[in-house]
Chain A
Amino acid sequence: MMIELQTLWAALVLYVLAGSLSIFGVMLKRRPERFVLGLLLAGLLLHTAAITLRWIRLDHGPFLTLFEILLSNVWSMLVVFALAYWRVPALRPSAAVVMPIMFVMMGWLLMTNPGEGHMPPTYHTIWLYIHIGFGKVFLGALLVAVGISGVILLRQSRIGHGRFAYMPDDARLNELSFRFLAISMIFETLMLIAGAIWAQDAWGRYWAWDPLETWAFLTWLSLVLTMHARLAYKVTPRMAAIMVITVFVVAFLTFFGVPFISPVAHQGAV
């Protein structure tokens, strides 16, 4: 177990370096993007190794305890962000917004008990992986949208004004954020469908409004509301950014809050 944790800590150190470099890059108006990407990828490699070691040792994926859920979500969110960082160079400075969010999750991860949990019999199904996989893409795409939205908001403030000047204008960033929001909506929908299939077999019903199902559906509704609001009104980039961040807050509470305060069988493995 020690080697797993040491590998994880090394990965977290690399992430912190990548995030710090991004923040300093924005503050000093420099663009150390290749270093940041290199550090992110190196961190992801070590993180993958830590997850693999744990998976082999426990003979199940990181789906059960809060530690495992944070461990796998920090990984998946950063995988999606690193992909976006690599493929869409214009959004790279948004790492200065995204990485502090990830620092919070990493801090929470470090404070969580890394002990093992028990794999319930209903988790021995391919639908677990499909459901969780869709959920992770959803949250990762939403994180990218939040990073871009954070830049839009920061640009309105004294501290951010001028520091993101080399990024596209707010209208373009707003459009980019909307596209990641659309991706997250598709994957959230897929996550709900896969979850319903799993629930039908695991608990003999496809939907029962248990706390996690209810909040996952409310997250979906908040996404739908946000997207329709952009069509119904001339929403300013600032307002659109606030709405994206609100959706993220609802999703974050659903993923990382509800499963651990709810006593029902659906403990959440996303």
Chain B
Amino acid sequence: MQPAAVIRVCRAMASLKLTLVALFFFAAGVIVEYLALANAIWVLVLPLLLLSVNLLAAIATNPVFRRSGALLVFHLALLTLVVLVALGRMSGLKGHLELSEGEEFNGQLTELEAAPWHRSTLDGVHFRNEGFSISYAPGLKRERTRNAVRYMDADGRERFAEIGDQTPLVLNGYRFYTSPNKGYAPAFLWYPAAGGEPMLGAVHLPSYPANAYRQSRDWMLPGTAVRIWTQLQFDETILNPEKPSQFRFPENFVVVVRIGEARHELKPGEALALPEGRLVFQGLRSWMGYTVFYDWTLHWLLGTALVAVGALGWYFWNKFAAQPWDRPA
């Protein structure tokens, strides 16, 4: 292609009218995605690509970008934001995990949504849930969550932190947030009849108080085919809807264990003898659900967005200061 033809194409691609068309399609794409009319990311990606090409062509050919550095920086920052968001989407991670009180995170997530380019370093992340406190306002309205955690810092020193609500634990770039999902976890020690080390485990009952009347769960005895149904039973009111209250353990409770047709009630320290081994109910603990988020672009996004808005403000300031509004140009 001749240089003149390239310039002509560039000028055509740099058209402000094309910007308007692309912006219109982008807005339409946002609405289409929002209304779930089409489950296709291309309704956003195509207008963004068109806008990017349009902007690059405009930067190459439109003298306004050479006259105003601020306008150029603003538009380049917008372009950088698009690239960063795309990179974040391709390398990020979202997930969930649950930890009983006293349990250490071992790098395994219960739910995981990792982008194709994500290289996990979760194996090197260790922290321990040391328990939490949550207060409730009348009407069972959850107030602040305070979750104590113990973790190793980058220098291998043990640290203690309180996280909760908008304060995450950040380790290796992974951000661990407490979630509204939490509840009771009866802890058991299992001594296999065949011998070997006893195994400690906790059964995470459904989230409390969201499932206050469904505090039961099925689970399997480790290394056996024995299915156990476990229910936490107590009569007292933990969270009073009439007055401020606090998430706490019930004072009087039993754990109902049903294996097949046999039903047993266990108090802390009591044991159940089975042909496969011995099950000891250790006591009641709490569990906390965490959401995990990883996106290395976060700080770059913030910095770029601030550069964009600063450049836009600078551009308008210069433009308006140069020409009073009530005097003809």
Contacts and interface: CB of A to CB of B under 8 A. Distances in A.
Given A218-B30, A221-B27, A224-B23, A182 B316 contact: yes
A197 interface: yes
B121 interface: no
B23 A228 contact: yes
B175 interface: yes
Contacts of A197: 302
A193 B302 CA distance: 7
Interface string A239-256: 000000000000000000
For chain A, give the interface size range.
35 or more
B19 interface: yes
Contacts of B144: 121, 124
A202 interface: yes
B19 A204 contact: no
A202 B165 CA distance: 6
Contacts of A124: 144, 165-166
A217 interface: yes
Contacts of A222: 27
B325 to A, nearest CB: 5
Interface string B171-185: 000010100000000
Nearest to B179: A204
A125 B325 contact: no
Interface residues on B, range: 35 or more
A78 B291 CA distance: 41
Interface string A198-234: 1011101110010100100110011011001101110
A63 to B, nearest CB: 15
A262 B71 CA distance: 36
A185 B139 CA distance: 40
Interface stretch (B200-208, B225-233, B261-269, B306-314): B306-314
B19 A201 contact: no
Interface string B127-145: 0000000000101011111
B97 to A, nearest CB: 13
A135 B291 CA distance: 29
A14 B64 CA distance: 48
Interface string A163-195: 000001001100110010011011001100100
B325 A201 contact: no
A201 B306 contact: no
Contacts of A183: 316
B24 interface: yes
A118 interface: yes
A228 B16 contact: yes
A153 interface: no
Interface centre among B16, B325, B328 (most CB of A within 10 A): B325
Interface in B310-329: 312-313, 316, 320, 325-326, 328
A115 to B, nearest CB: 12
A5 interface: no
Interface string B292-313: 0101001001100110110011
A186 B19 CA distance: 20
Contacts of B34: 209, 211, 214
B103 interface: no
Contact of B312 (A171, A186, A233): A186
A183 to B, nearest CB: 8
A176 B27 CA distance: 27
Nearest to A125: B166
A90 interface: yes
25 contacts: A118-B141, A121-B143, A121-B165, A122-B166, A124-B144, A124-B166, A176-B325, A179-B316, A179-B320, A182-B316, A182-B320, A183-B316, A185-B312, A186-B313, A189-B309, A202-B165, A204-B168, A206-B298, A206-B301, A209-B34, A225-B20, A225-B23, A228-B20, A232-B16, A232-B20
Interface of B: 15-17, 19-20, 23-24, 26-27, 30-31, 33-34, 94, 137, 139, 141-145, 164-168, 175, 177, 291, 293, 295, 298, 301-302, 305-306, 308-309, 312-313, 316, 320, 325-326, 328
